[in-house]
Amino acid sequence: MIAKKHEKYWQRGRDFLRVEYPLIAGAMTWISNADLVKAVGAAGAFGVLAAGNMPADVLEKEVGELQRCGCNFAVNLITIAPNYRSHLVKIADWRVPYIVFAGSFPRQEEVKIAKESGAKVLCFASNNSIAERMIDYGADALILEGSEAGGHIGHVSTIVLIQQVLFAYPQLPVFVAGGIATGKMIAHLLLMGAAGAQMGTIFAMAEESPAHPKFKERFRKARAREAFATPQYSSDLPVVAVRALKNKGSEEFGRLQLELIQKLNRNEISRVQAQFEVEKYWVGALRRAVQDGDVEYGSLMAGQSVGLIHETRPVKEIVQTLVQEAEETFNKLGL
């Protein structure tokens, strides 16, 4: 599907991920299971298993299933999850081919553990100083995820990160994420030097996605402006912003923050305990939305690209359409 004359634009990402198309289906807790990752791999793209806070036996089963299928894949480790450290040790023991650190930023020794297992390491970079630190730690590739993305996000937009990081660090593959849902955009990112693109929301809407039909239907009807980032009410309780569709659950989260801040002020809980309560809320709320279809009180984590996606399609069709659009864009540009 990729014309020979255009291979040079795709090649760096293809070589790094060892897949036909350097399109990453970003990890989404409760959604990016082995079945979805296998479907992405079968379509020629690159799937990422979301470890989240899975029990070790469940994670081992999911990883084993992917290792048997023969597709290339990554495991996404959430650095702020309670099971994170044990996940890292086990994933290293299981010799998975790629590891993605997410949630926050890994320590240098954690990157070392991953690399010593033989895995290629991908780290997120939300600004240029973080990019430099991750490169110094030994990251094999970077993922620039702009604030347009869904779930836990940074504060800088994709278009600024492209200028701040993509253009500044040509020495290693850089994949761009946040607000991407068309092949036209992917083509222009490749022309700017990106090794490929990461997308989440579009794959959450795939037929193979385990998300509840009510969850997908809410996404289908959503507009870009409905995917808003949660505010931080006080520096006493620093929280990572989350982008999701606004609903009653979003209002509940606001009330939870205020209650936790009051408890902090009364010295009833520590900051660490308060932050744990925040993460516990998101994990539970996301599960209710994805698995139970509670679109009123569950967390509808979505990127602003949700306004560009209006139907549910098989993964293979999604990937083929993205690549076809990218190739058509190259042709229109006379390349």
User: pLDDT of 7-47, one tens digit each?
Assistant: 999 999 999 999 999 999 999 999 999 999 999 999 999 99
Asked if 296 and 317 sit in the same domain, the reply is: no
Structure tokens, 224: 């870009």
pLDDT at 137: 97
How far apart CA 190 and CA 67 sit, in angstroms, is 29
Q: Name the nearest CA neighbour of 197 among 179, 217, 221, 214.
A: 179
pLDDT at 279: 79
Asked if 35 and 102 sit in the same domain, the reply is: yes
- How many C-alpha atoms does 248 have within 13 Å on its Cβ side? 7
Higher pLDDT, 151 or 174: 174
Asked if 292 and 323 sit in the same domain, the reply is: no
Asked if 323 and 292 sit in the same domain, the reply is: no
Asked if 154 and 27 sit in the same domain, the reply is: yes
Higher pLDDT, 71 or 294: 294
Asked if 261 and 326 sit in the same domain, the reply is: no
User: Does the structure show a pLDDT above 90 at 127?
Assistant: no
Asked if 241 and 300 sit in the same domain, the reply is: yes
Asked if 148 and 293 sit in the same domain, the reply is: no
Domain with 157 in it? 4-210+311-332
Asked if 9 and 34 sit in the same domain, the reply is: yes
Burial (0-12, 13-18, 19+ Cβ within 10 Å), 205? buried
CATH label of the domain that carries residue 183? 3.20.20.70
Asked if 150 and 254 sit in the same domain, the reply is: no
Structural domain tally of the chain? 2
Contact 90, 112 (CB under 8 A): no
Q: Average pLDDT for residues 154-174, to the nearest whole number?
A: 93
User: pLDDT of 227-243, one tens digit each?
Assistant: 999 888 888 888 778 89
Asked if 275 and 200 sit in the same domain, the reply is: no
Helix axes 128-137, 108-116, angle to 10 degrees: 50
- Residues 6+ away with beta carbon under 8 Å from 221: none
pTM of the model: 0.94
Structure tokens, 312: 């549910």
Q: Average pLDDT for residues 288-305, to the nearest whole number?
A: 95
Asked if 183 and 297 sit in the same domain, the reply is: no
